[in-house]
Amino acid sequence: MLARQEKEKIESQASLFTSDKDEAIIQAFDKLNNSSIRTVGPELVFGRIYDSIGFSQVQEELFRHLVISRLAFPSSKLKTCEYLYRYQGIHISIDSVYRFLDKLNDTLKSQVEQIAFAHTLKILENNISVVFYDMTTLYFDASDEDDLRKTGFSKDGKHHKPQIFIGLLVGMGGYAIGYDIFEGNIYEGHTLIPFIEQIRKKFNLNMPIVVADAGLLSKDNIKALEDNGYEYILGGRIKNESKKIK
């Protein structure tokens, strides 16, 4: 619309002399269409953050596209492919995204975690004294289970669909420390101690205070935390607690 208006403005102006420059401008406007539009804001802003954290060390251009798209336009993988093509002029097939996610989990996970942890350590000034652990479920629009995708208790209310659990450990301010993927039919409480021990040993952490929600509050977990020397804060419903705690 603006290009058309500018073209009409130029053409309607009386001129004593013929200008090659004016003709070049008109020809340039004639070539413009919606497919020429590029959205540069997300790359400029989120790309700068991505680089400053250190994720540019991951030598996978698709990883960068997926991360920035997730921040700018959080949606399904298919919608992400459409967003990249429409607004960035980048053609990525949905199959290539699925293949890359396998590669991310199999070969790049450790590097991504190490970069995220180094950034968290820097932000928190080398003091990770408190960690927060939580889990969520991701369901799949499929009927068949496999070694990882299992039907189980769904936080999305999709109990008939196979799912996986994702556990995330963060520090103060929500800065990421590590994550892991679990079978969809596991009891989330069983992941707490093994996961925290795994992350603590991997990054050589001191014994942090562990904060978790009611879903991880069980006598076994409390005992395991105490037996392993952890201080902890576990959320729970007052009405379910003993009279002494109330």
Sign of the Cα pseudo-torsion (118, 122, 124, 125, in order): positive
186 falls within a domain: yes
**b/e per residue 118-152 (b: at least 16 CB within 10 A):** ebbbeebeeebeebbbebebebbeeeebeeebbbb
Q: What is the pLDDT of residues 87-134, one digit of tens each?
A: 888 999 999 999 999 999 899 999 999 999 999 999 999 999 999 999
Q: How many domains does the chain have?
A: 1
> Residue 197 is part of a domain; what is its CATH number?
3.90.350.10
> Is 66 among the domain residues?
no
Most confident residue range from 36-50, 143-157, 161-175: 161-175
The reply to whether 221 falls in a domain is: yes
Residue 37 pLDDT class (50, 70, 90 cuts): low
Please determine, for residue 65, whether its predicted confidence score (pLDDT) is greater than 70: yes
Q: What is the pLDDT of residue 147?
A: 81
Residue 1 in this model has a pLDDT that exceeds 90: no
Taking CA atoms, 59 is separated from 54, 104, 160, 182, 237, in Å, by 11, 12, 38, 27, 46
Mean pLDDT, residues 62-79: 94
Sort strands 232-234 and 163-170 into parallel, antiparallel or unpaired. Answer: unpaired
Q: What is the mean pLDDT of the chain?
A: 85
Is 219 contained in some domain?
Answer: yes
What residue numbers bound the domain in which 164 lies? 124-246
CA proximity to 161, closest of 137, 189, 191, 182:
137
